[in-house]
Amino acid sequence: YVFIDLIYGIFFLTVTALIFNFFLKLHSPIVLLFYLLVFLFGLKKFFIESLNNIKNKITFIILLSFLPSFMLAGYDSGLYHIPFQTWIQNEKIIIGLSNLNLRFGITSIFSYASALMWFENTFLFVSYFSTCFYLILFLFINEYLSKSYQKFIFGLTILISFPLWSRYIFPSHSLIDAKFGILVIILITILASNFKIWILEKKIIKEDILFVGTLFFLIFTFKASGILFFPLLIFLVIHLIKIKKLSILITPLIFFCFLIIVWSIKSFLITGCFYYPVSISCVEVSWFSIENLNYINEQISTYAKSSFEIINFYNVLFNNLSLLYILIIPLIIYLIINQLRYIKNFLKKNKLLIFLIL
């Protein structure tokens, strides 16, 4: 599936940028040269192996390519997203950085990839990078959910309900709510659709575990609320051990545990907490501020409640119709083109039958 390749690409980009920042500023020549070489290698691999896989998805890509021209920075980009990215562009990791801006502690791993893609207040490439998440959503529906009408209707429901889990915010290149929601929807859908095979029939392979692990890692590191999915992860790990799949679990488990440790060390160095703003993970070091922690938790709680309080009929029908149009119209156009292609192929194969009917 192309959408899986894209998710792995985002995973690679964010994780490597995170690790680089422990030792180097992200706009150092060494880092930029590394990603240039990766890009050239990936481009060669794309033309050799992947070009044929996306030919029938070109409609999605062309239609969504217009989305970056409408993207804005987002309402809190200047509050902490862009300032944090400016710091990591020009400095390696700084101990106690959250004391300069208490919201630096809740920045996403997405910021590490975004910081690589803008220079001198030009954010076009960040917009294209953000558009990849919407492309992933469409490809997920097309490649994974279109195998049956039931799954496809579920996919349409995801699109129609999109504003609910993106907090009615127009697509922007800094806000991560929609991106986080897309990853969560994919994870839950894949687990639900494979429940019978993976859980009941006990048929699961290492590639499945790696992909699910990648989704969990991105969810944990995109938003602090991703920790709410931790009990689900524990359940899956215990189940795999119970059905004697430890041999295929051990390598992915060690790999993702290592990455979580890296993320936790980053969080600790910046805030004094291993998973900010979870208070139980905090340590009384000199750069830790209990006042900042309490304030952030209070603000998160208040904003989570107010987000639902402001949702009303007017918002649903009028203020956010543009968001629904942007998401649904490309899919409708794609479906029409696909149906025309199907009808054309049917007519070619059944010329004699049509002649006899006429």
The predicted pLDDT at position 208 comes to 92
The predicted pLDDT at position 178 comes to 79
The predicted pLDDT at position 290 comes to 92
**Token duo for residue 180:** 């986080």
Range with the poorest average pLDDT among 17-26, 105-114, 162-171, 176-185: 162-171
* CA nearest neighbour of 239 among 209, 217, 211, 259: 209
The predicted pLDDT at position 168 comes to 45
Q: In the chain, pLDDT over 70 holds for what percent of residues?
A: 71
For the cut 90, the answer to whether the pLDDT of residue 253 exceeds it is yes
74-84 b/e (C-beta count within 10 Å ≥ 16 → b): beebeebbbeb
The predicted pLDDT at position 131 comes to 84
* CA nearest neighbour of 95 among 269, 213, 218, 332: 269
For the cut 80, the answer to whether the pLDDT of residue 159 exceeds it is no
What would the pLDDT profile of 220-235 be if each residue is shown by its tens digit?
A: 999 888 888 999 999 9
**Token duo for residue 244:** 């004697």
The predicted pLDDT at position 143 comes to 76
Report which of residues 194 and 254 the model is more confident about. Answer: 254
The predicted pLDDT at position 88 comes to 96
Report which of residues 179 and 95 the model is more confident about. Answer: 95
The predicted pLDDT at position 86 comes to 95
Query: Which of 11-25, 32-46, 221-235, 312-326 ranks highest by mean pLDDT?
Result: 11-25
The predicted pLDDT at position 18 comes to 96
What is the identity of the amino acid at 327? L
For the cut 70, the answer to whether the pLDDT of residue 158 exceeds it is no
The predicted pLDDT at position 304 comes to 61
The model's pTM is 0.83
Whether omega for the bond prior to residue 277 falls within 30 degrees of 0, making it cis, is yes
Residue 244 — pLDDT band, cuts 50, 70, 90? confident
Range with the poorest average pLDDT among 122-136, 167-181, 200-214: 167-181
3-state class of 139 per DSSP?
helix
How many other β-carbons are positioned within 10 Å of the β-carbon of residue 248?
16
